[in-house]
Structure 1
Amino acid sequence: MQAVREKLSDISAMRKAKAEAKAEEKVEKEIARARVQMAHELRKAKEAEAKMDLHVDKAAQKAEEQIAKHSPSPPTHTEPQLTHAPISGTTDHHGHYDDNFADPILRKLQ
């Protein structure tokens, strides 16, 4: 009778240990599944961020192109085009001295 009780006690202890091991395994599998899912979501988020960065870069480039396309064009010439070379010692084509360029003769007199 004692042997039967011990055997039943051993069987009960084995069932309890087996149930605990199964519960631990189930928790570990759930943690591993959550890690895999988190890694998948992280990869998707990084891909979406890269896609958005590319979209922003393309939009900025198109905006710059549109601004350049619609901005007023710069003047083609800032100074009048001369039909002949200026007179020696002057800066314009009529022999007159520019305001920013002093007459060399007057400069000597001063």
Structure 2
Amino acid sequence: MQAIKEKLNDMSAIRKAKTAAKEEEKAEKEYAKARMEVAHEVRMAREKEAEMDYYVAKAADKAAQHEAKHCHDDAEQPPPSASADGGDLHATTSRPPSATILTAEGNPR
């Protein structure tokens, strides 16, 4: 009878040890899963940050090109009110300014 009680006590202790080991393993798995999720989110954030930096640099380059282009255009062309009467320089012709015919002296017709 004593041997049976000892065997039952041993089986109960083994069951408790297995339950404790399973709970510990479950907690470790949850912790590892949380760490994986955090690592994934950190990686995604770094990728998006790098992508954002790329597009900010690209926008800055385009802005610089646009500014350089317009500063260069402004330096070549006189302001719209540059004629003596304050009007458009080519208001009397129906041709665009690039199609203006010049005389031998270089004056427009």
Give the TM-score of the pair, scaled to structure 1.
0.63
Cα distance in 2 for partners of 1:8, 1:74 equals 102
Paired residues for 1:92-103 under 5 Å: none
SS at match of 1:73: helix
Bigger Rg over Cα:
1
**Residues 8-51 of structure 1: CA deviation (Å, up to 9, x unaligned):** 11101100000000100111111111112211111111110000
1:96 matched to which residue of 2?
A: none
More displaced, 66-75 or 45-54?
66-75
- The CA deviation at 1:57 is 0.2
Aligned-partner residue type, residue 32 of structure 1:
A
1:28 matched to which residue of 2?
A: 28
Paired residues for 1:1-110 under 5 Å: 1-71=1-71, 72-73=74-75
State how many pairs are aligned.
75
Aligned-partner residue type, residue 48 of structure 2:
A
Cα distance in 2 for partners of 1:32, 1:60 equals 42
Structure 1: gaps spanning 5 or more residues: 76-110
SS at match of 1:22: helix
Cα distance in 2 for partners of 1:47, 1:4 equals 64
Percent identity between matched residues is: 57
Cα distance in 2 for partners of 1:35, 1:4 equals 46
1:87 matched to which residue of 2?
A: none
Cα distance in 2 for partners of 1:48, 1:14 equals 51
Give the TM-score of the pair, scaled to structure 2.
0.63
Cα distance in 1 for partners of 2:11, 2:26 equals 22
More displaced, 1-10 or 13-22?
1-10
Structure 2: gaps spanning 5 or more residues: 78-109
